[in-house]
């Protein structure tokens, strides 16, 4: 059964890598040197996380619903 998970992909200026988090799976975080690598690693991280959840007998998340990402600019 396929499940879709929304991910948040952000650029970390300090480390010069893309960081990916999965809101529906707290603690599921990975990274990559470019967007493609980061998203490939995200798929792997999600799979491993789901296998761990399944192995412990917990219910598997169904994925995420609507997501909205925006930027807010403030004066500092």
Quick one: tokens of 72?
A: 């807010």
Mean pLDDT of 59-76: 71
Q: Note the pLDDT of residue 43.
A: 95
Per residue in 2-56, pLDDT tens? Answer: 788 889 999 999 999 999 999 889 899 999 999 999 999 999 999 999 999 989 9
For the cut 70, the answer to whether the pLDDT of residue 68 exceeds it is no
Closest by CA to 23, choosing from 59, 74, 69, 56, is: 69
For the cut 60, the answer to whether the pLDDT of residue 63 exceeds it is yes
Give me the sign of the Cα torsion angle 41, 45, 48, 50: negative
Between the alpha carbon of residue 10 and those of residues 6, 18, 26, 32, 55, the distances in Å are 13, 5, 16, 10, 30
pTM of the predicted model as reported, rounded to 2 decimal places: 0.79
Q: In order of start, what are the domains of the chain with their CATH numbers?
A: 1-76 (3.30.160.250)
Q: Note the pLDDT of residue 64.
A: 60
């Amino acid at each position: 059964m396929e499940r879709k998970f929304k991910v948040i992909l952000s650029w970390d200026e300090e480390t010069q890598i893309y960081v990916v988090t999965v809101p529906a799976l707290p603690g599921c975080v990975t990274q990559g040197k470019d967007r493609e690598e980061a998203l490939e690693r995200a798929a792997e991280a999600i799979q491993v996380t789901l296998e761990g959840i399944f192995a412990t007998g917990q219910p598997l998340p169904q994925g995420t619903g609507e997501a909205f990402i925006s930027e807010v600019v403030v004066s500092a």
